[in-house]
Structure 1
Amino acid sequence: MVNKNVKDSRNMGRATTSTILRSPSNSKITKRSMHATNSSMMDNIPRELLIEILCRLAHTSFTDIHNAKLSCKDFHEAAEDPCVYQNMSLDNFPLVAWKPLTKKEEAFFTKCQDCQNPEIPYRQAVLDYFTGKGPKSALAHLQGALNANHIGALYVTCIILLFSGEDELKACGMKLMAGMKKSKYVRGKLKEHRDRLKSMLRTMWVENPALRRRPVCCTKQDNHRRRSSWEDMVDDADVHCEGCSVDSEIKFLLDSLPRL
């Protein structure tokens, strides 16, 4: 009898707990409690720190920052900070729009431009130079991105100088490119920017006639540059010949282009 009473009391406890959890009113209480807990946690995070976190997220992925904005009110408000738009990744958007932009897309790009996102002038410079509009227009746009220390903009600037056809500008491009490879941090970022540039070139018509004249930077007559392959030298920090190092970058670029 005692065991039966104990068993019945346990069943009653489980039933009572189940009933409480399934109760609509209790569900509302639970949601309010969770919302209050989340709000208190967000209140403890300094706004400057939250914006910094969202800036890094925006730089990595537009999709992730968009999802973060939808997650809660605090994220949505912080993500509207100009600093976030300044660091916003535009990789999800094609370089060449094959259909007119929607009003939301136009507003988004306008805000990125107003917040001085360096991707805006960088993308325009790539489009201008590789479609044959001339180096002056491209270099003018690149200057805006260079002011924000955009590594991809420095890389494309080097390419423009190397293919300029003028010895003085070519020498300047070689010096800049060699300097990029001497920096461990920049060298680590080069592959990322090479791949991004290669992806952009695949979405556009490359018509710049200057790219048909391949510059040669290493003029030494010995076999010091005879490695297993040119590709091995692109990321090789031990290549002491600046001309060889730059020639490897030129080869990589030309191999990435469609046939002109």
Structure 2
Amino acid sequence: MESVLEDCDSSSSIGKKRKINAGSVNEQSVSMKRRRPVVGSLPGDLLIDVIARVASSSFTDLFNAKLSCRDFLGAAEDEFIFQHVSIDKFPVIHWFPPSVELLSFLNQCIDKGNPEAMFRQGMIEFFSLARIETGLEYLKRATEKGHVEATYVYGMILLSRGGQSSQQGLNILNSMKVTRSNYLKLRECRAKIKAIIREMWIKNSISLIEVKCKCQERNMLSIRKRKFEEEEEVLCCDACGWYLEVISFCKIVDGVV
């Protein structure tokens, strides 16, 4: 009888220990639930801004961020992310049909107002598909977003048309503020555009109409090219300078250079 009582006492003590352990586990789980991860504690706008900065530097980093955290995954679907994500890793011209996922992603970038995506689509629409008005609209939208290459191409096209369009193109190009300090950026801009055009089937070229310049009475062939690396006064007006530039641009489109 005593052994039975002892067994009962021992079993009851074990039961109490189990209850105590269960209680401590419950307390731990509650405390863990109360602890929010650092990422989850950030305000939504700040989280989206962080993801946008990651996306603007690298699509690969954005993809990895989406895999690492549920909060990042949700924030990455915001419209602001598509506007700023870098698509430099993707080719402008797809020689093979892109996957459904990639095509959907790029179309979302265009629809959400990504400047690089709109610039690329504008180039394809205008030069390759010969959809002039649609291409100009995409280039215009990218220009309004401050995209350098789109500003250059859109200004060149308008300048080449002459008349009122020529003046509008000149105003757009002058907004680029070409000086010695950012002349290298203009060269990089030309190189990028040239590389894109070389990959395209050009179905719509541009014809050059003479641009009226303040110093048009001078012989255009005798006007010196602007030397931004030297301290010297430019001997031609803005219209003359961009007119020489648009001649080079037409040669790039025609495949001459």
Question: d(CA) in 1 for partners of 2:80 and 2:232?
Answer: 34
Q: 1:243 aligns with which of 232, 239, 242?
A: 239
AA of the residue aligned to 2:45 = E
Equivalent in the alignment of 1:167: 163
**Structure 1: gaps (5+ residues):** 1-35
How many Å apart are 1:160 and its aligned residue?
A: 0.9
Question: d(CA) in 2 for partners of 1:251 and 1:192?
Answer: 18
Change (3 A) 1:183 1:234: closer
Q: 2:38 aligns with which of 41, 65, 74?
A: 41
Equivalent in the alignment of 1:92: 89
Q: Is this contact kept in 2: 1:161–1:170, CA < 8 A?
A: yes
AA of the residue aligned to 1:89 = S
Equivalent in the alignment of 1:108: 105
Q: Percent identity?
A: 31
Change (3 A) 1:51 1:215: farther
AA of the residue aligned to 2:130 = K
Change (3 A) 1:259 1:225: closer
TM-score after normalising by structure 2: 0.66
Question: d(CA) in 1 for partners of 2:125 and 2:131?
Answer: 7
How many Å apart are 1:71 and its aligned residue?
A: 3.3
Question: d(CA) in 2 for partners of 1:112 and 1:178?
Answer: 28
The residue matched to 1:42 in structure 2 has which SS? coil
TM-score after normalising by structure 1: 0.65
Question: d(CA) in 2 for partners of 1:242 and 1:76?
Answer: 48
Q: 2:224 aligns with which of 223, 226, 230?
A: 226
Equivalent in the alignment of 2:21: none
Equivalent in the alignment of 1:157: 154
Q: Which has the larger displacement, 179-188 or 47-56?
A: 179-188
Report the count of equivalent residues. Answer: 220
Change (3 A) 1:105 1:234: farther
> Does 1:81 pair with 2:78?
yes
> Does 1:197 pair with 2:190?
no
Question: d(CA) in 1 for partners of 2:217 and 2:77?
Answer: 55
Q: Is this contact kept in 2: 1:233–1:248, CA < 8 A?
A: no
Question: d(CA) in 2 for partners of 1:254 and 1:44?
Answer: 54
Aligned-residue CA RMSD (Å): 4.0
**1:83-104 deviation line (CA, Å, top 9, x unaligned):** 1012122222222222222121
Change (3 A) 1:80 1:190: farther
Q: Is this contact kept in 1: 2:179–2:228, CA < 8 A?
A: no
- The higher radius of gyration belongs to 2
Q: Is this contact kept in 2: 1:128–1:134, CA < 8 A?
A: yes
How many Å apart are 1:112 and its aligned residue?
A: 2.2
Q: 2:204 aligns with which of 199, 205, 208?
A: 208
Q: 1:65 aligns with which of 46, 54, 62?
A: 62
Question: d(CA) in 1 for partners of 2:119 and 2:187?
Answer: 17
AA of the residue aligned to 2:38 = M
Question: d(CA) in 2 for partners of 1:147 and 1:235?
Answer: 32
Question: d(CA) in 2 for partners of 1:215 and 1:60?
Answer: 41
**1:3-28 deviation line (CA, Å, top 9, x unaligned):** xxxxxxxxxxxxxxxxxxxxxxxxxx
Change (3 A) 1:226 1:233: same
How many Å apart are 1:247 and its aligned residue?
A: 3.5
**1:39-84 deviation line (CA, Å, top 9, x unaligned):** 7432454332232132133223322322332333333332222210
Q: Is this contact kept in 1: 2:48–2:81, CA < 8 A?
A: yes
Equivalent in the alignment of 1:26: none
